[in-house]
Structure 1
Amino acid sequence: MKKILTSLFVLATFSLAKNIVYSDEIISLYLHQNDTKVVGRLLPTNAFEILEEQNAKVLVKINGYLNPKSPSVIYFNNSQRIIVAAFSKNIKLNFSQIKKGKNGKWDKVSIKIWADKKDFFKDNKKMLSRAKELFSNNCGICHALHSEKEFSANAWPAVFKSMVNRTGIDKKDQWLIIEYLQKNAKDFKIK
């Protein structure tokens, strides 16, 4: 009897578990399942939840923070410009507010939106490790390698983009490395 109860508990827990995944590449986002017009992009290394699968698309839930001055961008935390997802400016989006920001902090929000189905990962450790390796192997060729902690989270995208053309880093990996650098910056703040 105890084995049956334990099995039922494990099964119930497993069925209630959220399907949280990550991508190591930029994912296109769509308002509706059958849309072909891309309305946004989800950047690598950021967690999202798969709610439903339909053919080549998945309905996902993305959580993050919304700066009232940039209502078409979801950020990783409530005070830094670490982008989770960015959307076209003229698109009407249906954000759900989770928590109102106070004292200049941004609102915590979520959005349900369709995305291309890809090979997703259960954690982002390997992709962050690969990003670190790409950064270390390519960004110290012309000068001494900068420490990840040398720049702020808000400064890293411009610093990286100013030098990336002199490296062998593929375009598809650039946002992977930027996200890695921002999440290891000297002033990085966890949500």
Structure 2
Amino acid sequence: MKKILTILVSFTFFASAQIFYVIDDKVEVFDPIANKKIGIISRGTFGEKVKEDDERIILKVQGFLKNKDTKTLYATKNTMLPLIVFDDDNNKNSLEIAIVKNKVSEDQINAWADAEILYYDTCSMCHAAHAPKEHTMLEWEGIFTTMRAFAMPTDSEADIIIQYLRAHAIDGYATDDDE
């Protein structure tokens, strides 16, 4: 009976957790207590809402640390997709961050919408664009490096496209294309 009750309580907790996604590139994040800027968070990064006020939302974000890299929190174990680049050293793989409310959404599709359009517009000029889930992050790195010379996106556009491809790759974390 205790197991059933524990499972029910756990399910209720996770079902009620609100998940938010960063909807813009290079968004500043702050220490929620000191209200000091601590770094830059990437588009699509998600976190569980802890609390909010009129201007900010506090999210619990989790990721992976790379040996000897104290300035970056990564989305996946392969450490190819940065979530947060810190201003100072960080040694936590789970932390609470404050972010301006208009830079997050509960809709993951909203977080990636313009990046997806940019990818398909840029990468279908010469051929049909491949679905991001067709390749791993590492494969996309090589493919995009080769194809970039033909499509000629700006540096900013290239950053957005490769981030979109990595997040939506077979080994990426984004799930909006599964819905």
* Distance change >3 Å, CA 15–CA 151, structure 1 → 2: closer
| CA shift for structure 1 position 44 | 1.0
2:60 aligned partner: 61
**2:43 partner letter:** P
**Per the alignment, in what secondary structure is the counterpart of residue 72 of structure 1?**
strand
Measured in 2, the distance between the counterparts of 1:140 and 1:16 equals 39
Give CA deviations for 1:97-124 in whole Å, capped at 9, x if unaligned: xxxxxxxxxxxx2111222222522231
CA contact (8 A) 1:80 1:153 kept: no
- 1:110 and 2:109 matched: no
1:99 aligned partner: none
Measured in 1, the distance between the counterparts of 2:29 and 2:107 equals 21
- Give the CA RMSD over aligned residues: 3.9
- Give me the identity figure in percent: 19
**2:161 partner letter:** I
1:166 aligned partner: 152
2:116 aligned partner: 132
Note the residue ranges of structure 1 that are not aligned, 5 or more in a row.
Answer: 1-12, 96-108
* Distance change >3 Å, CA 110–CA 129, structure 1 → 2: same
Please list, as runs of the form range in 1=range in 2, the aligned pairs for 1:1-12 lying within 5 A after superposition: none
Please list, as runs of the form range in 1=range in 2, the aligned pairs for 1:8-87 lying within 5 A after superposition: 13=12, 17-26=16-25, 27-32=27-32, 35=35, 38-87=37-86
TM-score, structure 2 as length reference: 0.66
**Per the alignment, in what secondary structure is the counterpart of residue 93 of structure 1?**
coil
2:162 aligned partner: 178
**Per the alignment, in what secondary structure is the counterpart of residue 106 of structure 2?**
coil
TM-score, structure 1 as length reference: 0.63
| CA shift for structure 1 position 86 | 1.3
| CA shift for structure 1 position 152 | 4.6
More helix by share: 2
2:177 aligned partner: none
Give CA deviations for 1:169-189 in whole Å, capped at 9, x if unaligned: 794x6654333201333x625
Number of equivalent positions: 160
Note the residue ranges of structure 2 that are not aligned, 5 or more in a row.
Answer: 1-11, 175-179
Give CA deviations for 1:56-106 in whole Å, capped at 9, x if unaligned: 222221111111232221111112411111112xx24362xxxxxxxxxxx
* Distance change >3 Å, CA 150–CA 18, structure 1 → 2: closer
CA contact (8 A) 1:56 1:117 kept: yes
Measured in 2, the distance between the counterparts of 1:156 and 1:45 equals 22
**Per the alignment, in what secondary structure is the counterpart of residue 39 of structure 1?**
strand
**Per the alignment, in what secondary structure is the counterpart of residue 118 of structure 2?**
helix
